[in-house]
Structure 1
């Protein structure tokens, strides 16, 4: 192994002056009291060389432009917006606490905003040049998933499981009228939000049709969640398709706003399939949809006629011996209706490919082993497209530009760290926010051609004068395969003394789509990790094979074999820890949540001579009890992979428990249902194994808000009780 970088935040010369974090600060302070100075909600104003952002009190929208030498001026205030809202909607009351944080620029002069009055919620188009509200839609405050047509004439929204469309006159038309709650229309929770699904309705480019998901889950078994808040506890049923059982059936429907008629795309059989990457073509004549089989190893990119629903053709197919995971809609080139970008990891890393609408791959736009993390935009001339991608073995995030004609890629940011850039419409300027283990935050405007940077924000260390954080270093450890480098993070105990041995808390996740170790100010850690280090623990985290940002083969080692390679890699991390003279090998504990909860119990049972204490939150204990979309992707069906399910089942291994284990669950968990931990507890009872259990009655899959302070205190107390004795 080798050290990547060091972070020393020892700000005083005498350690007795150190003020440790409180549990409240460790839980809530990272994004509040200790948040580095930043440019809040910074965005490029479309088709200009000007940026906008909120002031420190969130009371005004400010602007800087290249024309005025990046000096600051006020564009519009919260009070001005509130006065205009009161004038526009005199029958409602407004008391804006802040200027809307999630504003968007529709064009160079038009802001799109969401505001809430006393009676209704509104989406507003605001002209900043004339300071007028040019368009607005009013919704009931319980209306969900509002989607405004691009011409501003219609707004689609959800009333429970049905779609409503409101026009500019205020007239509302019901699009669907399903009385059975098992028929869900327009929901972004289709396929349980796997496959990158974040919306359930799409307006056509001509704004005359609405495309939407129709999910039929009437055949999926009800799963009971118990609401303990009533005088007589009530059952709240959810639909939960467990691995190997009957799943939901989904279709795509095109609704014609003028005729009121609806047609269903003929996506065919079998009905248990996944409809992904849903995209209108720029002319509104066709709909492109990725049709993925339930086995999730065969994707067909299909083109459908929006007027008839007929399949026009299959553009291309993608197959894998493991799984295919489409995560993004197609992105059509603004000036070429017949060409689009497609993101896939088919060649090893999730990268961009240029296709035409005949299904021909025109060009691979990938670069080295870079994983595309966020597609940004094209420049005005549509010569280049910009994206944020990985670097430095996944630790960094950098900005890249790729020439669409030649495929040549240029890395535009180069300083090692985590960059969060956006690019001006003409592709000439970057608004870059940058952090690393040694840089709290720096925001600058960078001229791409000249490389000249105008620094707007240079944050001081937010912990200076408040607390002294322990020493942290990023390390590289070789995986159990003997060749793959893994990223790790080691936080030393505060007031470290040479020759003293310290207990260890290993914080683990280990599963796909998560990365815990990154090159930012805290190395990807939370302040709770530092809190534990301040209280005398070595705190260690390793991103094993199976985790995110390192490519297909790095992740896919988990296929049909969850927990096995992940544990093998984590034990290489333990070998690293045991090589350190300051680590007490007899006092090693582990904590994780969700997949990390599964990993925690797995390590406590399979490596019971190593791990003496564990805290497992929301753990999957038997993958039979997990849902179809995620579970079958990585494990196939239980009847197809009985050996893999058996090896991953911690319930059957409860008798192997030796150490002290605390299991925590949310009673309302609709992701990892409580049956997982209850079955494990029952197995421990039958095996005569003592185990601790704690339930958060009102929380779902995670414990959020102020109650998280209680959670973190409970975890810290448990480690103190059993690992410091």
Structure 2
């Protein structure tokens, strides 16, 4: 099989089929979802795959022991009756079978449910149809973290409470100042892989938690228009170059009530990342990243005293260091852990011991680890999903900890979501590509061949929707040497002899990839809708986007928008080389970073782009928050030229085409100040610009209002580009 697949075609169905409606740009993902097995996973220590029925009311399984025939393990009624029998002090209304479960043994799984009075973590036995274990906490609680001994910590506003296994409630913190936030996962604005703000030690006797002091950060007003008299909802929004929050890590001992602050030192404006307990509970590990985000120290601290023990290793870069993953300790070996980093070019795994010695490089070529799936039963191998095919594909890999040897367990080009059975003999492999809607098979891990196919979905559009042709293409970047992935969707009833308007859909920022070798090529239903309305729809993942390694992103350091725009213009060159493209009718649409890119293209490439729609756009990076903005641009004080070049405020005077800016009035991510100041610049420059506000939405317009938004965008292109 070729390493790079240059193009794929998605052929439309029969001519009597219909087009997508504007409503289906939002609802189509559910309506035309390929046949699948919902929430499927291996039952622990078995050769059985459990999943939910299409209506979410039954837990089903297919097993090697019965020839992979479908059978019912339990029903929604079984689960609800078991809850009511076990927990008589509360009331439950179970609408579906639990969708998020974790198998603890062959016959029992763990899940969370809510009653009228409390929230619960329960273990349900599918054989006896009984709840065998219950842990509860107040339904006032948020962000609950469960300990192995039955204790559970939870948040009430900005404070932490613990419900012990015996049912007692402990107030861990009692801060009345809302500027002191304890235990929340919303620390450092959830950059650096931060997904939680509390961590139990393995014994469940001590709780580590973030204490965020943001009292020194100015209040930023977000206007709530729904009240009789509009009011401000103040948030803390530390902007690039300004004062940041101060964060510490505290360890609370449940038995004594004693608190110890870990001595992470000065300066206070630093980032605490990758918080990880040593399995013994003696030490705790923290990645200390400086505010400049170019120097990481991975430190060990004594959890009992808070004292610094040693620095295990450091990472320095001329651009940035971006830790994303907490440590993963090797089962039954508290002295060894897995560390993930892209320091050597690609996010890969490394085996260390707790003294900081590198034991093994577990990386494989240019494969980027995207999803750590866990260890095998012997803890000698790790399974993970990684990239392939120039970032277009996702494949299942397995690496041996002792030898460092990696094998690829799936092979068909596409996007795989796969896992290995407990005994290590079989793979549950689900994949799609641009010609395969969904296929689920059981693979023999030795031969890598399919033993049986569980699901082979038909094209869900056949006879219903006439989907336009789609093609994946490779384009060389502006540096003349880097291959870029792109996608082109042809207009309905495409005729190469005609000329068509173009809608370029763009994002272009980090941690996002729009073009993938999966069903529909990664495109959304709005893209296909616009193609059905007669547009060529084009998308390019420029340098700076995801799944291509660190150097692919580093070129944008201190100059956001420059190389991204240069690459997008190479995409435009590709489009203009096509005889069916109307070169006088090229438009662009993007949201967030894509809104920044849209406005950048409209004000810098004025002879190319005639129409643009920019949603939630960053207009000047000095208005964006510290953690993300300073990583790529440094502080405004340190990089005034870069900020000035990226700013669109002084480029409003260049605007020639029609530009619609859309913003959510409640946006706490890209604050509305960005677009308002751009409007003011347009007024001063005598430039007409269109503006639309969604009063009750934050950064993204969700729900049925999204249909309204897509209708507005489509109408804007039809009015000013198509006609």
TM-score bin (small chain): over 0.9
The Cα of 1:3 is off from its aligned counterpart by: 7.2
| Residues 1:615 and 1:142: Cα distance change in structure 2 (over 3 Å) | farther
Q: Report the counterpart of residue 633 of structure 2 in structure 1.
A: 635
State the alpha-carbon separation in 2 of the partners of residues 506 and 567 from structure 1. Answer: 12
State the alpha-carbon separation in 2 of the partners of residues 3 and 447 from structure 1. Answer: 26
Alignment of 1:327 onto 2:324:
yes
SS in 1 for 2:221: strand
Asked whether the 8 Å contact 2:10–2:520 carries over to 1, the reply is no
Write the deviation string for residues 104-157 of structure 1: whole angstroms up to 9, x where unpaired. Answer: 123333311122223433222223343222222333434210111123x21111
Question: In structure 1, which of residues 477, 480, 483 is the aligned counterpart of residue 478 of structure 2?
Answer: 480
State the alpha-carbon separation in 1 of the partners of residues 301 and 125 from structure 2. Answer: 38
Deviates more, 1:36-45 or 1:510-519: 36-45
Question: In structure 2, which of residues 535, 538, 550 is the aligned counterpart of residue 537 of structure 1?
Answer: 535
The Cα of 1:56 is off from its aligned counterpart by: 1.5
State the alpha-carbon separation in 2 of the partners of residues 718 and 373 from structure 1. Answer: 38
SS in 1 for 2:124: strand
| Residues 1:537 and 1:99: Cα distance change in structure 2 (over 3 Å) | same
SS in 1 for 2:521: coil
SS in 1 for 2:334: strand
Q: Report the counterpart of residue 561 of structure 2 in structure 1.
A: 563
Deviates more, 1:345-354 or 1:122-131: 122-131
- The 5 A counterparts of 1:387-466 are 387-453=384-450, 454-466=452-464
Q: Report the counterpart of residue 90 of structure 2 in structure 1.
A: 92
Alignment of 1:189 onto 2:189:
no
The Cα of 1:240 is off from its aligned counterpart by: 0.4
State the alpha-carbon separation in 1 of the partners of residues 507 and 203 from structure 2. Answer: 45
Q: Report the counterpart of residue 28 of structure 1 in structure 2.
A: 27
Question: In structure 2, which of residues 273, 276, 280 is the aligned counterpart of residue 276 of structure 1?
Answer: 273
SS in 1 for 2:460: coil
TM-score (norm 2): 0.98
SS in 2 for 1:7: coil
State the alpha-carbon separation in 1 of the partners of residues 93 and 545 from structure 2. Answer: 44
SS in 2 for 1:507: strand
Asked whether the 8 Å contact 2:38–2:51 carries over to 1, the reply is yes
Q: Structure 2: where are the runs of 5+ without partners?
A: none
The Cα of 1:85 is off from its aligned counterpart by: 1.6
SS in 2 for 1:718: helix
State the alpha-carbon separation in 2 of the partners of residues 269 and 50 from structure 1. Answer: 53
Alignment of 1:7 onto 2:9:
yes
The Cα of 1:403 is off from its aligned counterpart by: 1.1
Q: Report the counterpart of residue 108 of structure 1 in structure 2.
A: 106
Write the deviation string for residues 458-486 of structure 1: whole angstroms up to 9, x where unpaired. Answer: 11111111101000000000000001000
Asked whether the 8 Å contact 1:378–1:427 carries over to 2, the reply is no
State the alpha-carbon separation in 2 of the partners of residues 276 and 109 from structure 1. Answer: 37
SS in 2 for 1:118: coil
SS in 2 for 1:601: helix
Q: Report the counterpart of residue 245 of structure 1 in structure 2.
A: 242
- The 5 A counterparts of 1:74-93 are 74-93=72-91
State the alpha-carbon separation in 2 of the partners of residues 267 and 574 from structure 1. Answer: 50
State the alpha-carbon separation in 1 of the partners of residues 496 and 43 from structure 2. Answer: 55
Q: Report the counterpart of residue 570 of structure 2 in structure 1.
A: 572
Asked whether the 8 Å contact 1:3–1:473 carries over to 2, the reply is no
Q: Report the counterpart of residue 652 of structure 1 in structure 2.
A: 650
State the alpha-carbon separation in 1 of the partners of residues 722 and 137 from structure 2. Answer: 56
Asked whether the 8 Å contact 1:434–1:443 carries over to 2, the reply is yes
Q: Give the CA RMSD over aligned residues.
A: 1.2
- The 5 A counterparts of 1:302-341 are 302-341=299-338
**Count of residue correspondences:** 719
State the alpha-carbon separation in 2 of the partners of residues 624 and 4 from structure 1. Answer: 39
The Cα of 1:63 is off from its aligned counterpart by: 2.0
Q: Report the counterpart of residue 165 of structure 1 in structure 2.
A: 162
State the alpha-carbon separation in 1 of the partners of residues 379 and 133 from structure 2. Answer: 30
State the alpha-carbon separation in 2 of the partners of residues 671 and 321 from structure 1. Answer: 27
Deviates more, 1:84-93 or 1:427-436: 84-93
The Cα of 1:167 is off from its aligned counterpart by: 2.0
TM-score (norm 1): 0.98
State the alpha-carbon separation in 2 of the partners of residues 609 and 358 from structure 1. Answer: 59
SS in 1 for 2:35: coil
Question: In structure 2, which of residues 200, 203, 217 is the aligned counterpart of residue 203 of structure 1?
Answer: 200
State the alpha-carbon separation in 1 of the partners of residues 522 and 436 from structure 2. Answer: 13
State the alpha-carbon separation in 2 of the partners of residues 312 and 426 from structure 1. Answer: 39
State the alpha-carbon separation in 2 of the partners of residues 76 and 439 from structure 1. Answer: 31
Q: Report the counterpart of residue 130 of structure 1 in structure 2.
A: 128
State the alpha-carbon separation in 2 of the partners of residues 257 and 701 from structure 1. Answer: 39
State the alpha-carbon separation in 1 of the partners of residues 104 and 156 from structure 2. Answer: 26
State the alpha-carbon separation in 2 of the partners of residues 708 and 66 from structure 1. Answer: 44
State the alpha-carbon separation in 2 of the partners of residues 452 and 474 from structure 1. Answer: 27
Deviates more, 1:99-108 or 1:137-146: 137-146
Asked whether the 8 Å contact 2:5–2:389 carries over to 1, the reply is no
SS in 1 for 2:46: coil
Asked whether the 8 Å contact 2:17–2:463 carries over to 1, the reply is no
State the alpha-carbon separation in 2 of the partners of residues 208 and 669 from structure 1. Answer: 40
State the alpha-carbon separation in 2 of the partners of residues 260 and 106 from structure 1. Answer: 31
SS in 1 for 2:217: coil
The Cα of 1:354 is off from its aligned counterpart by: 0.9
Q: Report the counterpart of residue 363 of structure 1 in structure 2.
A: 360
Alignment of 1:121 onto 2:119:
yes
Write the deviation string for residues 690-724 of structure 1: whole angstroms up to 9, x where unpaired. Answer: 00000011110100111111111111010001001
Question: In structure 2, which of residues 549, 552, 570 is the aligned counterpart of residue 551 of structure 1?
Answer: 549
State the alpha-carbon separation in 2 of the partners of residues 491 and 683 from structure 1. Answer: 35
State the alpha-carbon separation in 2 of the partners of residues 272 and 109 from structure 1. Answer: 49
Question: In structure 1, which of residues 524, 527, 542 is the aligned counterpart of residue 525 of structure 2?
Answer: 527
